[in-house]
Chains A and B, each alone.
Chain A
């Protein structure tokens, strides 16, 4: 990652004018520490990381860690809202599509899921802004704020996952609803709602849970496009800004953080999976 960031280009060229002389470029490189041997720079980077620091932002002249700590909560909020939306809409829609299989609702759910998984995120985001923000003026077009500010970006961010939840839940529910113990539950005379939500969904939710956990990590890492389009001051946008300006320490900080978040989420999913499925615990 360090060497990848260094290979993106000369950071000094990002902040010098077109007529910069070689000597002046050398001065700027020296100030940025880029004239040191690569192994020295790498050593400094490792030392900083070990101490929980990443070095200073070369453009904003603030510790990269501070910038990260400002941006990360914003991304977590957006990703959390996206996940909540995906769960609240995607799972019930998938359940209803399975329960009312073959109905117009099922057709709507399947088509929406396919569209949701195929539509490019940036296009969806721009279309939502133009329609609901620019044309109808129902919702804000950009930035962070109250609940209304979360609706469009969280929807655009979570659309793929929402569609995935719908499809997975539907498939899993269809499989479970055909199983013997569900038939037995019905024969016993249990209320249909109880059959669906207590017995069927509980077993169908396991693969959905796995998908959701990994997807949340993906939401955190894949929010660059949404954050740029909606001018959301989160981790993704910080990462993109730092890449454009060759702010090496910030690049490293954001990438490391993204990777760490992914690992943490994957671990949590594993733990949760074992909690939800007793068969895993007993293995």
Chain B
């Protein structure tokens, strides 16, 4: 016989249950969403008078009372490789080190070099255009109070831009030098190149591009603590707007505002501390924004509703990434197996571009920021861009005609009857790549009657196939970040003999190389770049249907923020204004 038990609600049992429930509630409510590192916000009203400069920018802070808060929390997906010595930095997403470091040349908000507000206050061409001579201004302080001088600039340049540097871009520049940074006067130094290198001002010295080439740090401090010491505690020897006061690897970097920052009047950061946190999962970042644990998060438009319902909104960082459509080995008529490579024929390349309905891409879910403008390497804000470099329009008749002229009327015989693959990878800076690739494939099938298939893989694996020549002639659809000065990328991609896409031939290749090496004013270089980009657009080895802005979720307490264009991370934080 089974013995049955009935629950008897005795006083002791009820009391025990009540105690347990109370404990649970106490833990849950008493520890309400307060991360350990984030301090409680104390609102302070601070009088901040901004000194107007001679180079006003659209984001000039007005001379009014601006609310200041204790801490700004930014959440992003990566903290790069967390190397405070820029020699070892290889990453593009660079917000995590920018607050610490100063760059030799500053830029205005619309990406013009700004000598009046730079550490390098003056520069000029020397040695028949092969050299640059730079003059360092006085009065710039490191965080330890010492004054920056030309020896620091030389030391930093030699350390940073060297053949031992981790970044390929810096190795490239080091190899382009005839003579590295050398002192020429009490506050001047010179760099000599093997051939004219006008792009070095931007790529090697300025704060515009997403690399750490122009970073300057203290020679004395570095030599006193050594490489390991600098990595452990770089702050005293750096000159950026913030001191690093806390760092947990792969978790958080905590900064405190440096009130002797040489640009503090031009860039008055309205927060005393800056916390940059690594939070890989989007939902967590959104929840943190909703909970008040974050002020700025990297986001995407799929979570717009969640962000707005939490009192926040989306702010766009303009011209974030372009959609890049390219194939490998288009300069070869056949691949390794003897199969004809379709993109060898320029008419095929153009037909594929004309067959894409760019407007339909704009209508895709998650593509609300997609703009039909720009071209590979050149955004509307980039050097050399003009509107006639914009993507080819959707023209199905022209696409069919070009394909027929190439010998594949109605897609007959295209790719030898084999399936024409599009490769892409998911994740990364533009999450909708598989969907976009599918749309492109649909257009090619519908307009050109090509048997097309999308192959989605993991980023490094797909890139590996591409660079190893395993998918010669097949197209890769991927995102890529813009640059202001695309010389290095153009050179590396098209204009040197061993470039992966050195398809421009013996005439156009050297011509492009010469154009991107043009010396002169910014306007003269712009025209030269325009001509180089026009050649690339005409050759059509790669093309782009457009680009997307980078969305950031911002909390309800931020009234306004104006990120800079062409930045791979949250930028121009000094433009933030908090609500009253």
Contacts and interface: CB of A to CB of B under 8 A. Distances in A.
Given A139-B32, A237-B250, A231 B499 contact: no
B7 A103 contact: yes
Contact of B461 (A9, A60, A143, A144): A9
Contact of A13 (B82, B287, B463): B463
Contact of B279 (A24, A61, A177, A231): A231
B31 A21 contact: no
A233 interface: yes
Contacts of A52: none
B118 interface: no
A141 B310 CA distance: 14
Interface string B1-37: 0110111000000000000000000011111111111
Contact of A24 (B31, B168, B286, B464): B168
B166 A140 contact: no
B460 A137 contact: no
Contact of A20 (B7, B31, B168): B168
Given A21-B499, A24-B171, A143-B35, A138 B493 contact: no
Contact of A148 (B27, B288, B289, B492): B27
Interface stretch (B190-198, B290-298, B443-451): B290-298
Interface in A1-50: 8-11, 13-25, 27-28, 31
Given A133-B33, A192-B5, A151 B28 contact: yes
A238 B251 CA distance: 11
Given A133-B291, A134-B287, A8 B33 contact: no
A178 interface: yes
Given A139-B32, A229-B281, A233-B248, A129 B463 contact: no
Given A142-B279, A229-B283, A19 B498 contact: no
Contacts of A24: 168, 171-172
Interface string B456-472: 00101101100110000
Given A13-B464, A100-B5, A231-B284, A19 B81 contact: no
Contacts of B82: 60
Contacts of A126: 281, 283-284
Interface in B481-516: 488-489, 491-493, 496, 498-500
A153 to B, nearest CB: 11
Interface string A60-96: 1100000100100000000000000000000000000
B195 to A, nearest CB: 17
Given A18-B480, A61-B83, A133 B287 contact: yes
A178 B284 CA distance: 48
Contacts of B90: 15-16, 59
A88 to B, nearest CB: 10
A149 interface: yes
Contacts of A241: 250
B283 A138 contact: no
B489 A19 contact: yes
Contacts of A31: 166
B168 A246 contact: no
Nearest to A21: B498
A28 B169 CA distance: 12
B498 A17 contact: no
A266 B250 CA distance: 31
B461 A8 contact: yes
Contacts of A230: 284
B278 interface: yes
A143 B36 contact: yes
A56 to B, nearest CB: 12
B83 A141 contact: no
B33 A140 contact: yes
A41 to B, nearest CB: 17
B464 A142 contact: no
B460 A18 contact: no
Nearest to B80: A59
Contact of B460 (A61, A142, A246): A246
A283 interface: no
Contacts of A9: 458, 460-461, 463-464
Given A13-B460, A24-B172, A237-B250, A147 B27 contact: yes
A25 B467 contact: yes
A186 B460 contact: no
A119 to B, nearest CB: 16
A143 B324 CA distance: 36
A23 B171 CA distance: 11
Contacts of A261: none
Contacts of B286: 130, 134
Nearest to B31: A148
Interface of B: 2-3, 5-7, 27-37, 81-83, 88, 90, 166, 168-169, 171-172, 231, 248-252, 277-281, 283-284, 286-293, 310, 324, 458, 460-461, 463-464, 467-468, 480, 488-489, 491-493, 496, 498-500
Given A135-B290, A146-B36, 12 more contacts: A24-B172, A25-B467, A27-B171, A28-B168, A60-B82, A130-B287, A138-B28, A138-B31, A140-B293, A142-B288, A148-B32, A192-B5
Interface of A: 8-11, 13-25, 27-28, 31, 59-61, 67, 70, 99-100, 103, 105, 126, 129-130, 132-135, 137-149, 151, 177-178, 183, 186, 192, 228-231, 233, 237-238, 241, 246
22 contacts: A8-B460, A10-B464, A10-B468, A15-B90, A16-B90, A17-B492, A19-B492, A60-B249, A61-B81, A67-B249, A100-B7, A130-B287, A133-B287, A133-B293, A134-B291, A137-B33, A138-B28, A145-B35, A177-B3, A229-B283, A231-B277, A237-B280
The 5 closest A-B pairs by CB, nearest first: A148-B31, A134-B287, A19-B492, A145-B36, A134-B290
